[in-house]
Structure 1
Amino acid sequence: MTLLSEMSRAWRRHWPHYAAEAVGIGVFMLCGSLLTILFEHPDFPGYQALASQEVLRRAGIGLGMALVIVGIVYNPWGKKSGAHINPAVTLGFWQLGKIRRADALWYLLAQVVGALLMGQVLKAVLGAYFAHPAVNYLVTAPKPPHGLGVAFAAEFVISFALMLVLLLALHHATLKKAAGWLIGMLLFLYITFETPLSGMSLNPARTLGSAVAAGHYRGLWLYWVAPLAGMWLAAVFFNKAHKGQELACAILAGCDAAPNTPHATEPPVYPQER
């Protein structure tokens, strides 16, 4: 079967899952933008109350986004698609054989399209608030005095760590249902403490949506290469270290894969036999 045939068949069977991914990343961008405006725009109370407390402002954004990701992971749409909302997460699960090639490609396309569309919606609706220099369309870029090298290393490390924690949780009998909360906790810590190093992306599609809205592409390549490489290598490392332990499915809420989903038993059982 050719790739195009695979993708056509996958679309007919699984398009609601792809729609859930597009909506999920759109909601993530919407909430991130609103929280950033609340805490960084000088006209809003979050900034006014914490004007001299940059770390606390980032912590406010981080806490809000942690709750947002938990909501995305555990709502019915998130459980349907797996709540990847990130090409790097999808790549990691594909490496482990828990999502088929055609589904992985559709997930990536849905994530990118969802981010691009939401970036344009936010630009049109929020206007000057979204464009304000303190918000800057939610663009991710290296932060002075750090350069591209520091940003790349930081993005790689946080991406590797997030995927590794996710896989450890999903393979743990007690923790697998709490994986979404663990990811939320990491997101809170990353936004609060890592943002000054790289701007804190983790998500190539989200960064692309903001970059296109702003027309600002400086360093964009690293926000694709570092997260994709970090999460892919984390999956490779985990496969080597935990060979023989089965992963039920590529769903962040933790589950046994339902029939007729991109995460059902059709992919090779992890780990793949050599």
Structure 2
Amino acid sequence: MRRPLRERGVAPAAGTIAINSGLEFLLTFAVLFAVTTITRWVMGPSPIAHAIPGIHLRLLLIGACVGPLMAGLILSRPGKVSGAHTNPAISLAMWRLGVFPGAAVLPYIAAQLAGSALGVLAARAVWGPTTGRPPVAYAVLRPGPGWSDAELFAAEAVSMGVVVTLVGTFLRKPRLVPFVPWLVGLLVGTAIACLGTVTGGSVNPARQFGPAIVSGHLDFLWVYLLAPMAGAVVAAAVLNRVGDHRDARAAVDGDPEIS
């Protein structure tokens, strides 16, 4: 979630983009393998599932596991190299915020989606047919009863917008940058625990892509893919507008930091 691949104004080499995209593939593979594994043991037939009554407590446990996992991947050596986006909406937002090269956006997204699908398939190979049966169903997400496409789109877009706004704000304040991995982990874990029974708590197109493709449950997939991207673009635009306004005001006031 840092500033991988380039310094400002310096375009990365194709080889660098390829290497970092490969790392994004591995990191997203790890995320979806872990998410599917955790869901299999927390939601599926297991001693853990029998010991924890109710969907809300189970989602809380899943969030408590996935949140630190995300922070750890960002802090890992591969994560420090690639930025550990593991989320197409984050890659898009980082580009729009000017801290990520546009040439790397599509390779990153392709790597993330491929890693998502193969991570789910790997979990299926390790844990067997139970992974594909309800209530696990390859950890595919579904909104609560009665949700329309438009309502889900708005909820996912707003949720992603909140994530991008907070992460972007932290990245723009040097003293807060070291806390970004933990912020991301907290936001992901909170989304799972609080939104799991409402919208599914995705806020990540790659999170839904692999489970939906492997399971064949494609309902709402287009929403889970596009809504976070839309929310990310809008949030980045707002952050840029606010940042430009602050820079202009600081220039008028003679702020030495921008001289």
TM-score above 0.5, yes or no = yes
Map 1:149-164 onto structure 2 (within 5 A).
Answer: 149-164=150-165
Letter in 1 for 2:40: I
User: Which has the higher mean CA deviation after the structures are superposed, 24-33 or 117-126?
Assistant: 117-126
Quote how far apart the aligned CAs of 1:245 are. 7.4
Distance 1:211 1:234 in 2: 26
Distance 2:90 2:187 in 1: 15
Identity %: 30
Letter in 1 for 2:218: Y
Quote how far apart the aligned CAs of 1:60 are. 0.4
Corresponding residue to 1:44 among 43, 46, 69: 46
3-state DSSP class of the match of 2:117?
helix
CA contact (8 A) 1:65 1:187 kept: yes
Letter in 1 for 2:15: R
Quote how far apart the aligned CAs of 1:148 are. 2.5
Quote how far apart the aligned CAs of 1:45 are. 2.2
User: Which has the higher mean CA deviation after the structures are superposed, 233-242 or 120-129?
Assistant: 120-129
Distance 2:38 2:180 in 1: 23
Q: Does 1:57 align with 2:55?
A: no
Higher share in helix: 2
5+ long unaligned stretches in structure 2: 1-11, 248-259
5+ long unaligned stretches in structure 1: 1-8, 247-274
CA contact (8 A) 1:37 1:130 kept: yes
The alignment's TM-score, normalised by the length of structure 1, stands at 0.81
Q: Does 1:205 align with 2:206?
A: yes
CA contact (8 A) 1:154 1:197 kept: no
- Correspondence for 1:31: 34
Aligned residues: 236
Distance 2:117 2:14 in 1: 20
Quote how far apart the aligned CAs of 1:183 are. 1.2
Distance 1:193 1:97 in 2: 31
Quote how far apart the aligned CAs of 1:28 are. 0.6
Output one character per residue of 1:26-50: Cα deviation in whole Å (capped at 9) or x when no partner: 1111111111122111x31221111
Quote how far apart the aligned CAs of 1:244 are. 7.2
The alignment's TM-score, normalised by the length of structure 2, stands at 0.86
Letter in 2 for 1:16: I
3-state DSSP class of the match of 2:144?
coil
CA contact (8 A) 1:115 1:208 kept: yes
Output one character per residue of 1:104-161: Cα deviation in whole Å (capped at 9) or x when no partner: 1211111111112222222333232211201111112222133333322221111000
User: Which has the higher mean CA deviation after the structures are superposed, 221-230 or 167-176?
Assistant: 167-176
